[in-house]
Each structure stands twice: as structure tokens, then as C-alpha cells.
Amino acid sequence: MTASAIATSAAAAARVGGVVPIGWPQLLLASMFVVVTGALALWMQLGVTKQLAIAAARTYVQLLLLGLVLVWVIRFNQWWAVVGILVIMIVAAANVILRRAPDAPGGLFLTSVVSMAVTGLTVTFAVTGLVIGANPWYDALTVIPIAGMVIGNSMTGVALSLERVFADMDSRAGEIRTMTALGATAWEAAHPSVRTALRAGLIPTINSMAAAGLVFIPGMMTGQILAHADPLLAAKYQIVVMLMVAAAEIMGAVLAVLLSYRRRFDREGIFLEKGMRP
């Protein structure tokens, strides 16, 4: 046996389930990317070095804890455990949305939870049940990764749309007051801002879909290829993922904005100035 053949056999033996394992030394080596980035940010006086360090530490802790939890959930594979993970994801996403929309009116947390739950669960189980055919319906190995992608991407679209609709309405405060004084309903006055916000929330997804396969290889396809899956099969899975993400972002953003824009008006449809808001 030649040296190259021996090396190939050793590399194949080292793989776990088709994936080349990453040890702690390799993980620490990858951390140098963050160290270099932090040093560059410090040199440029960007003021984000501390936030970058905290974010990197949270990435380590949160993802490693998630890995440990998923090992148990996947082995246990009970519906209530899977549903519990999904509830935690939805509540955490709603909290992130609140932080990204600091000027949003009260009651936005419940609106965010409802929007994320309706869109996230609908799209997730439509994909796992109708497209992938998960058996049982709560199969943790299928449902949790799909739900994570759906909820995570939907959260981004919802947060961006909500932040934009309230900011745009505030910038149009004089116009909105004039419209309502002339008899326009809250919806008629807010509609331009709603349209602007939804467009802003959907443009990143549309651009991502247009560039996939030409400018970059999307995450799920990359992961499957690294796991030595058939590239064509990986491409099909990625198409499903990108379509479901687009649907989730659109549905979530539309639902969240429609449920929340009215909070900038009182019961009589009068636009609330900053000093009059609850």
C-alpha cells in the first residue's frame, strides 16, 4: 500500500458519520479569527472589541450547551421534549426582536411570540411532514434543525420590519396627523410605512436567494458537502431550505407588522406623539 493510500485510509477512519471531527486544539485555533478581528477593531478604535469578545464567548457556551442538550433530546426523542425546545426558541427569538426595536410600543413581546409561533411552526411542520416525511412527526433529528433555521431567519425579518415600520411612522408623524385629521383611517395613514417596512425586511432574503450558488454556497449545502453527501442531493435540500426561509420571513414579517402597527394610534385612530405613548 502506498503512502497516499495509507493517508487516505487513515483520514477516512478518522471521520465520524462522514464528518471529519474537530478537536479542542482545532477549535481553539479557529478562535484566532476572532482574536485577529478584535485586534483590528481595537486598532481602528471601532468601540466593538468588548461586544465582540462577549459575543464570541456566548457563541462557545450557547452552541456547546445546545449540542449537549440535543444529544439527549435526539436520543430520547419524545414529542414534549421537542416541543419544549421549539417553545424556548420562539421565546428567545421574541426577546431578540424586542432588543432590536427599542422604540416599539408596549405589548410587542406577545405579538412577536404569536408571529414567530404561527409562522415558525406552520412552515417547520409543513416541511418536515410534507416534504421530508419525518416519522414520527416530532422526530428530533429532523424537526429541531429545520425549526432552528426557520425561526432564526424569520426572527431577522420580523425584527427588521418592526424596527422599520415604527421608525418610518415617526418620521412621517406630521403627514400621518394630517391624514387622520382629514378622515383617513389608521390603516390608510400607516400603509406607506407598512409597505416600506415589509420591503426592507424582505430584500435581504430576495438578494440571498438570487446570489445562492453563484456568489456563495449556503450553509446547509456546505454542511452536507463537508459531511460527504451527494452534492446534487445537498443542492435539493438547500433549495427547500431557502424557499421555506423565504416563506417564513414573509409570513412572519407581515403578521407581526399587521398585529402591531395599530399600537401607534389610540382607539379613535389618532397618532400618538412620543410624550403621549404608554
Tens-level pLDDT at each residue, the chain (278 residues): 444 443 344 344 444 455 677 888 888 898 889 899 989 988 988 888 888 899 999 999 989 998 898 899 888 889 999 999 999 999 999 998 888 876 677 778 888 899 999 999 999 999 999 999 999 999 998 999 999 989 988 898 888 899 899 889 989 988 998 998 888 999 999 999 999 999 988 888 888 888 888 888 888 888 888 878 888 998 998 899 889 988 998 899 999 999 989 888 888 888 887 655 65
**What pLDDT, on a 0 to 100 scale, did the predictor assign at position 8?**
41
89: domain range?
A: 77-276
**What pLDDT, on a 0 to 100 scale, did the predictor assign at position 278?**
56
**What pLDDT, on a 0 to 100 scale, did the predictor assign at position 118?**
92
- The residue out of 40, 69, 98 marking a domain boundary is 69
**What pLDDT, on a 0 to 100 scale, did the predictor assign at position 3?**
41
Q: Residues 185, 232: one domain?
A: yes
- The residue out of 42, 69, 96 marking a domain boundary is 69
* 3-state SS record for the chain: CCHHHHHHHHHHHHCECCECCCCHHHHHHHCHHHHHHHHHHHHCCCCCHHHHHHHHHHHHHHHHHHHHHHHHHHHHCCHHHHHHHHHHHHHHHHHHHHHHCCCCCCCHHHHHHHHHHHHHHHHHHHHHHHHHCCCCCCCHHHHHHHHHHHHHHHHHHHHHHHHHHHHHHHHCHHHHHHHHHCCCCHHHHHHHHHHHHHHHHHHHHHHHHHHECCCECCHHHHHHHHCCCCHHHHHHHHHHHHHHHHHHHHHHHHHHHHHHHHHHECCCCCECCHHHCC
Q: Residues 116, 60: one domain?
A: no
**What pLDDT, on a 0 to 100 scale, did the predictor assign at position 143?**
93
Q: Residues 13, 109: one domain?
A: no
**What pLDDT, on a 0 to 100 scale, did the predictor assign at position 276?**
59
**What pLDDT, on a 0 to 100 scale, did the predictor assign at position 12?**
43
Q: Residues 16, 109: one domain?
A: no
Q: Residues 214, 93: one domain?
A: yes
**What pLDDT, on a 0 to 100 scale, did the predictor assign at position 4?**
42
**What pLDDT, on a 0 to 100 scale, did the predictor assign at position 7?**
39
Q: Residues 266, 194: one domain?
A: yes
What domain count does the chain have?
Answer: 2
CA atoms within 13 A on the CB side of 48: 11
Q: Residues 10, 84: one domain?
A: no
Q: Residues 28, 135: one domain?
A: no
Q: Residues 209, 117: one domain?
A: yes
